[in-house]
Amino acid sequence: MQIETSRLSMLGSHAVLFTPDCPFDLAHQQRIWAIADTAANWPDVREAIPGMTNLTLLFNDIPQDLDALSSQLDAAWDSGMSKLVEGTLLEVGIHYGGEGGPHLEDVADMTGLSVQDVIRLHSEAEYTVYAVGSHAGYCYLGGLDPRLETPRRKVPLTSLPGGSLSLAGMQTGVSASAGPSGWNTIGTADVKFFDPLRSPASLLRPGDRIKFNPLAVTP
């Protein structure tokens, strides 16, 4: 099994990860959405789930031929096919900083920006839901200003409340329920991103958009 130079790697005996080397932008994410739709119809693929410019495939059985799978995925990616989504726009009020945003000042330190500029840059942008995952209903957003890029925290927090707005790398998002997090948390929101009794249970899907509106500033 030689897959070193491949974009394909194993996530388990019944799951693979496809990671094309590409820029992190909407155009490439639209290509991921497209091959996710295609791969979902391949025999034995249980689910095809977009990540951030990567794709996870879950299988019913242990895949028989990784080389063939790798070629199929390469061909689908190299075809350049793309999926455009006419998504909805959700406006979310955010309390930046304070108790619910314990790392706002860390982010200012790490980026060399003032707290006010962190808030301004973060709330001026319109974000696109690139992927849904981590926990139920959580949206990975593209569109973060590159000046807000920060490293993940070395030791993850064991529990962060639902509604926490965090960022790490070139990514940002609001947690849908309480849980562990390795990101930098800068604020809180009051939105139900997931409800098992709602259909669909997840509020947003890839291609939808979010705008954050600052409600109060507690530097």
Binding site for other proteins (CB under 8 A): 1, 4, 9-15, 17, 19, 24, 46-47, 49, 51-56, 58, 62-63, 66, 131-138, 140, 151-152, 154-156, 158, 168-171, 176-180, 182, 194, 196-197, 200-202
Judged by beta carbon, residue 25 or residue 114, the one nearer other proteins is 25
Judged by beta carbon, residue 91 or residue 200, the one nearer other proteins is 200
Judged by beta carbon, residue 41 or residue 158, the one nearer other proteins is 158
Judged by beta carbon, residue 128 or residue 202, the one nearer other proteins is 202
Cβ of residue 126: shortest distance to other proteins, in angstroms?
Answer: 20
Cβ of residue 54: shortest distance to other proteins, in angstroms?
Answer: 5
Q: What is the DSSP string of 64-130?
A: S-HHHHHHHHHHHHHTT--------EEEEEEEEESTT-TTHHHHHHHHT--HHHHHHHHHHSEEEEE
Judged by beta carbon, residue 9 or residue 82, the one nearer other proteins is 9
Among left, alpha and beta (phi > 0; psi -120 to 50; other), residue 80 is: left
Cβ of residue 185: shortest distance to other proteins, in angstroms?
Answer: 15
Cβ of residue 200: shortest distance to other proteins, in angstroms?
Answer: 7
Say how far residue 144 (Cα) sits from the centre of its chain: 12
Strand, coil or helix: 30: helix
Which position has the token pair 């350049």? Answer: 80
Cβ of residue 120: shortest distance to other proteins, in angstroms?
Answer: 24
Judged by beta carbon, residue 97 or residue 143, the one nearer other proteins is 143
| Alpha carbons 171 and 149: distance in angstroms, whole number | 8
| Alpha carbons 129 and 133: distance in angstroms, whole number | 11
Cβ of residue 136: shortest distance to other proteins, in angstroms?
Answer: 4
Strand, coil or helix: 115: helix
Which position has the token pair 């920060």? Answer: 150
